[in-house]
Amino acid sequence: MSMTLLKGAPAARALQDKLSSRIQACGKEICLAVIRVGDNPDDCSYERSILKKCEQLGIMARTVTLDAACTPKQLKTEVANLNEDVTVHGVIVMRPLPKHLEEVRIEELVSPCKDVDAMHPQNLAAAFLGENGFAPCTAEAVMQLLEHAEVTLKGKHAVVIGRSPVVGRPLAMLLLQRDATVTVCHSKTENLKELCKQADILVCAAGQAKMVDASYIKPGAVVMDVGIHVDAGGQLCGDVDRDAVGEKASLLTPVPGGVGTVTGWILMEHVVRAAEEQA
Ligand code: NAD
């Protein structure tokens, strides 16, 4: 069987085009606020990629940078101000926060209607209940890619490796809403390989570099690789050993250039939706 790479760029472009039309139709200046505490290089790089996307779409970005040693009160005040500000439609706080701010319970502070990063329990509950809300961006990115590739989910067996609150769990719920039959596997799952081998759609979000090889794959399966790692040679790779599964899978998302390419655009979709829904 020949395997096709399911690249993220076409789905991302399609999403970007739709967003441009929606932004025009929205008829107001849309604004995303980004709060960063300290100058962790990963946070700074993520912030730059968000700002670039905002610029591409014509969304205003407001950055709030707090000192790494800021107090819980300072952080809370900044979030409260942005929650109140009617010219700001979405708020994202770079995480994880420094240890001394853990008490803040940041996920409950951003107003659910501005919580474009889908941290608030109300948004997670909506994703679990199939109600309107913001689902975690990575989980939605996987769904967007499946939809763009017109993969049939109804009645199919989807196996998700990983049960984290930001990826595996919400993704299992989104797949369930699309009428897939879902199995969620995790680090304590027995017979992981046997379960994976039954999957029509296999989502790999274990955070273990190149863990999934051909012995996990049902012939013809669609394999969605969520993992992001740097291998021994300094190259980016996923949870899937791409060379090893090539013969068996029908579709495979590459790393880099797969799920991660779509995730940032889902965040932008959330910002636009937040603006549309805010009077
Ligand atoms: P996590 O560490 O919070 O969760 C990993 C999950 O995998 C856990 O539920 C754990 O039980 C399970 N697991 C770990 N080892 C396993 C094993 N050997 N067998 C079966 N299950 C196992 O990680 P996360 O935040 O969910 O992220 C998962 C991966 O996705 C990471 O590589 C992360 O870098 C990547 N990620 C990618 C994107 C993206 O946009 N592409 C976004 C977020 C995270």
Return the structure tokens found at 256: 């880099």
pLDDT for the residue 121: 96
pLDDT for the residue 109: 96
For residue 211, give the ligand 1 atom closest to its CA. Answer: 18
pLDDT for the residue 257: 98
CA distance 89 to 278: 7
CB of residue 187 inside a 6 A radius of ligand 1: yes
User: Which residue numbers in the chain have pLDDT < 50?
Assistant: none
For residue 138, give the ligand 1 atom closest to its CA. Answer: 40
| Protein residue with least CA distance to atom 6, ligand 1 | 162
Centre of ligand 1 from the C-alpha of residue 162, in Å: 6
Return the structure tokens found at 147: 């939809």
Q: Which of 187, 196, 229 best tests ligand 1's pocket when mutated (most atoms within 8 Å of CB)? A: 187
Centre of ligand 1 from the C-alpha of residue 164, in Å: 7
pLDDT for the residue 103: 87
CA distance 62 to 33: 5
Name the strands in the sheet holding 157-161, side by side, starting at the edge strand that comes first in the sequence: 4-5, 251-252, 222-225, 201-204, 157-161, 181-185
Q: Which residues contact 22 (CB under 8 A, 6 or more apart)?
A: 272, 276
pTM of the model: 0.96
| Protein residue with least CA distance to atom 36, ligand 1 | 227
pLDDT for the residue 2: 81
pLDDT for the residue 93: 97
pLDDT tens per residue across span 39-70: 999 999 999 999 999 999 999 999 999 999 99
Centre of ligand 1 from the C-alpha of residue 228, in Å: 9
- 8-278-12 Cα angle (round to 5): 10
pLDDT for the residue 1: 66
Of the candidates 228, 129, 211, 207, the one whose C-alpha atom is nearest the C-alpha of residue 170 is: 129
pLDDT for the residue 277: 96
pLDDT tens per residue across span 180-193: 999 999 999 999 99
